[in-house]
Amino acid sequence: MYKSIVDIRIVFCVVGIILLFTACADVSPHSAACVTESAYGFFGGLWHGIIIPFSFVGSVFSDNIAIYAYNNSGGWYDLGFILGVGTLSGGGARAGRKYNRH
C-alpha cells in the first residue's frame, strides 16, 4: 500500500519538474522578429543545448516551441549548443572511464 503511494508521488514530482523546465523553452520567433532582434551567440547556444530535452517535450505538444534558435550567430552558437547537449550526457568523461572487470 505504501509503496504504491510513494510511486505515485514520484511520478507526479517527475512530471511537475518536466513541466517546470519545459516553461524555460523559447517560443520560436517569426521571421520578421529574427531580422530585428539580436542573434543568439555562444551562451544562447549553450543554454539551448542544456534545455534541449525540455524543449523537445514542449515542441511535441506545441508548434510555437523550437529546440534550435533560427536567429543565431553561426559557429559560436553551434559550439555552445553542442557543449550544452554534451553536458547532459557527461561529455567525454564517460567514454574515458575504465571498467573494472571482475
How many structural domains compose the chain? Answer: 1
31 domain residue, yes or no: yes
Q: What is the pLDDT of residue 56?
A: 85
Q: How far apart are CA 83 and CA 97, in angstroms?
A: 19
Q: What is the pLDDT of residue 7?
A: 78
13 domain residue, yes or no: yes
What would the grid cell of residue 52 be? 534541449
Exposure string over 69-78, b if 16+ CB within 10 A, otherwise e: bebbbeebbe
Task: Note down the domain range covering 13.
Answer: 2-92
Q: Are 24 and 54 in contact (CB under 8 A)?
A: yes
Q: What is the pLDDT of residue 73?
A: 82
19 domain residue, yes or no: yes
8 domain residue, yes or no: yes
Helix axes 2-22, 52-61, angle to 10 degrees: 90
100 domain residue, yes or no: no
According to DSSP, the residues that pair with 27 across neighbouring strands are 65
101 domain residue, yes or no: no
29 domain residue, yes or no: yes
102 domain residue, yes or no: no
Residue-by-residue pLDDT tens, the chain, 102 positions: 556 666 778 888 888 887 776 666 665 555 555 555 778 889 988 988 888 888 888 888 887 788 888 788 888 988 998 888 888 766 666 666 665 555
Q: How far apart are CA 67 and CA 59, in angstroms?
A: 7
Q: What is the pLDDT of residue 74?
A: 85
Q: What is the pLDDT of residue 67?
A: 81
